[in-house]
């Protein structure tokens, strides 16, 4: 179990948890203020991926009756305070009178400093509105929504979904209309800001078109002070306190940036290169020369002490000149430019001094090369990582019973696992699996950990090679905990991608630019704790 994670709860569980924690109006108001502030910060950060919010940004805020509406109103208030020329059109979907007390208080809070910059518009007025909006913020329904949806609200959401001049759509907690059972019309968000607790509907694959990218805004609902509150007088036998006992072993969990905290700290003064592990990397071919180079670059940035890379002998002069920090070992080549089976002995000679081994980037699929991989996997005793072309059923069969990580994307996972689920495949193979995708998932057969960092900036060739290099380097530094190495590598990679996209955008970047954001990502993660 990874400590730096929080549970993903079903909506009913989330209701129980919050009812045990937010026991009076003061606690509820504090939570709404925290949520509004976190949403405002997240919006401003995420807008950087498309150039940032302009000084005169125009917002559209959709407000229901309850706390989600309050969260949206306070978030809008903080955005308007940051951008003094910005304005907001607020649709109170059910009017002012039905607003619950704290939502009404939030509405008053927004209007007080913003003045004429925050105006109420009716459903009819918005229906005839043809202007542009930088942001639409959805706070109509929360996780307690149950269909059916009012026809007028459904029409509003449908219009927002198809509005041609809204730059970014964001949902508070859950897109309106989404739940354990969805309505016929659901708000389509670019970002969903899960406030306090990540509810299970946002990670259901079928809901991805509505949810967009999920950001977990941790409000401290699972911290020690909350545990003390739940264990207080009169609550020891409550449903919330019973849920507390089982949340630490909940089967689906969100990874937290705090998992990187040890990497951001000072290293002990009395250390040398052997302290931080020796990683061996096997990869490369004439047809795919770049993948192993990117893997080695990332591994060198992981903090590993020593790195030996085995590649086709024709690649060594160029690679050694470009990255002399690694020890490059040339292996005999096949006629097609892959690694020949006769090179196995040179690798075996180095195995006793290795803390971890990584196999696969750019190897190609020649039978002779894959035969070498099977022989190597059969011989290795240290933990190892299988990536890319090494992800073959015959190779995994040889690996059974050994400590290893594999890092498949969707197609590769299908190739090695067939119809098995992630958790079942981990149990069958004995592997720690990093299943790459929009929400990368990690498991060793127990809990499934979700990484919510990163985004479309990673949807380009080579990002998986960088990830494999990071995980391999971390594995060499901590070979006794494969799950932790995999999780740290995924979060680190994702946070760096977020920072890259915010600085350079999603489009006009190169994959290896991500490497320059690995160190800032550590500082970001440490600051977020």
Would you say residue 182 lies in a domain?
yes
Q: In terms of domains, do 217 and 284 share one?
A: no
- Report the C-alpha gap between 23 and 230 in whole angstroms: 10
Alpha-carbon distance 67 to 58, whole Å?
23
Domain total for the chain?
Answer: 2
Q: State the virtual CA torsion across 62, 195, 97, 109 in degrees, nearest 10.
A: -90
Q: What is the pLDDT of residue 128?
A: 83
Distance CA 279, CA 266 (A): 22
Contact yes or no for 94/101 (Cβ under 8 A): no
Give the pLDDT confidence score for residue 131 in this predicted structure: 87
Q: What is the mean pLDDT of residues 383-396?
A: 97
Instruction: Write out the residue range of the structural domain in which residue 220 sits.
Output: 13-249
Q: Is residue 254 part of a domain?
A: no
Q: How confident is the model at residue 114 (pLDDT cuts 50, 70, 90)?
A: low
The answer to whether residues 378 and 299 belong to one domain is yes
Distances (CA, A) of 278 to 22, 238, 356, 385: 50, 51, 7, 14
| Percent residues over pLDDT 70 in the chain | 94
> Is the domain of 90 the same as that of 229?
yes
CATH of the domain at 60: 3.40.50.10260
Of the listed ranges 463-467, 484-488, 525-529, the least confidently predicted one is 525-529
- Peptide bond preceding 483 in cis form (omega within 30 of 0): no
CATH number of the domain at 345, please: 3.40.1190.20
| Whole-number Å distance between alpha carbons of 34 and 481 | 35
Instruction: Please determine, for residue 243, whether its predicted confidence score (pLDDT) is greater than 70.
Output: no
Instruction: Establish if 279 belongs to a structural domain.
Output: yes
- Same-domain status, 367 and 472: yes
Q: Are 277 and 344 within one domain?
A: yes
Among 215, 249, 283, the domain boundary falls at: 249
pLDDT per residue over 441-467, tens digit each? 999 999 999 999 999 999 999 999 999
Q: How confident is the model at residue 229 (pLDDT cuts 50, 70, 90)?
A: very low
Q: Would residue 4 count as lying in a domain?
A: no
CA distances from residue 355 to 184, 279, 298, 467, 477 in whole angstroms, order as listed: 54, 6, 17, 19, 8
Q: pTM of the entire structure?
A: 0.95
Q: Tell me how far apart the alpha carbons of residues 467 and 464 are, in angstroms, rounded to a whole number.
A: 5
Give residue 248's pLDDT.
57
Question: What distance in Å separates the CA atoms of residue 295 and residue 301, rounded to the nearest whole number?
Answer: 10
| Rounded average pLDDT over 166-187 | 97
């Amino acid at each position: 179990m990874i400590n730096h994670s929080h549970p993903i709860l079903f909506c009913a569980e989330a209701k129980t948890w919050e009812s045990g924690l937010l026991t009076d109006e003061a606690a509820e108001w504090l939570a709404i203020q925290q949520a509004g502030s976190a949403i405002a910060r997240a919006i401003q950060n995420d807008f950087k991926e498309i150039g940032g919010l302009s000084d005169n940004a125009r917002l559209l805020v959709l407000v229901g009756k309850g706390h989600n509406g309050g969260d949206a109103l306070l978030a809008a208030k903080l955005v308007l305070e940051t951008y003094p020329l910005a304005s907001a059109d607020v649709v109170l979907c059910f009017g002012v009178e039905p607003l619950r007390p704290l939502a009404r208080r939030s509405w008053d809070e927004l209007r007080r400093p913003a003045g004429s910059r925050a105006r109420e518009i009716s459903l009819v007025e918005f229906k005839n509105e043809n202007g542009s909006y930088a942001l639409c913020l959805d706070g109509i329904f929360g996780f307690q929504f149950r269909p059916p949806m009012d026809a007028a609200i459904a029409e509003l959401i449908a219009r927002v979904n198809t509005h041609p001049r809204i730059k970014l759509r964001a949902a508070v907690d859950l897109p309106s209309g989404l739940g354990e059972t969805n309505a016929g019309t659901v708000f389509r968000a670019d970002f969903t800001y899960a406030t306090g607790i990540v509810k299970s509907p946002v990670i259901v694959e079928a809901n991805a078109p509505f949810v967009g990218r999920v950001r977990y805004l941790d409000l401290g609902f699972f911290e020690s002070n909350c545990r003390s509150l739940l264990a207080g007088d009169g609550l020891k036998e409550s449903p919330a306190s019973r849920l507390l006992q089982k949340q630490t072993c909940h089967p689906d969990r969100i990874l937290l940036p705090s998992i990187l905290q040890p990497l951001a700290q000072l290293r002990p003064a009395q250390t040398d290169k052997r302290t931080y592990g020796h990683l061996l990397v096997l990869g490369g071919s004439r047809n795919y020369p770049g993948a192993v180079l990117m893997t080695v670059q990332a591994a060198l940035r992981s903090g590993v002490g020593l790195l030996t890379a085995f590649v086709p002998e024709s690649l060594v002069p160029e690679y050694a000149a470009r990255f002399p920090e690694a020890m490059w070992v040339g292996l005999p080549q096949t006629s097609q430019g892959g690694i020949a089976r006769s090179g196995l002995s040179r690798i075996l000679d180095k195995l006793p001094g290795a803390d971890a081994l990584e196999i696969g980037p750019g190897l190609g699929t020649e039978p002779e090369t894959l035969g070498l991989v099977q022989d190597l996997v059969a011989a290795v005793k240290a933990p190892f990582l299988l990536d890319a072309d090494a992800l073959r059923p015959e190779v995994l069969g040889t690996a059974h019973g050994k400590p290893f990580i594999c890092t498949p994307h969707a197609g590769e996972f299908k190739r090695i696992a067939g119809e098995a689920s992630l958790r079942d495949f981990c149990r069958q193979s004995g592997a720690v699996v990093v299943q790459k995708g929009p929400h990368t998932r990690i498991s060793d057969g127990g809990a499934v950990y979700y990484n919510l960092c990163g985004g479309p900036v990673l949807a380009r060739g080579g990002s998986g090679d960088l990830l494999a290099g990071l995980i391999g380097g971390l594995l060499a530094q901590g070979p006794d905990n494969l799950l932790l190495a995999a999780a740290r590598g995924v979060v680190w990679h994702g946070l760096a991608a977020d920072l890259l996209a915010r600085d350079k955008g999603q489009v006009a970047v190169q994959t290896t630019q991500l490497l320059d954001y690995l160190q800032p990502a550590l500082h970001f993660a440490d600051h977020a704790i």
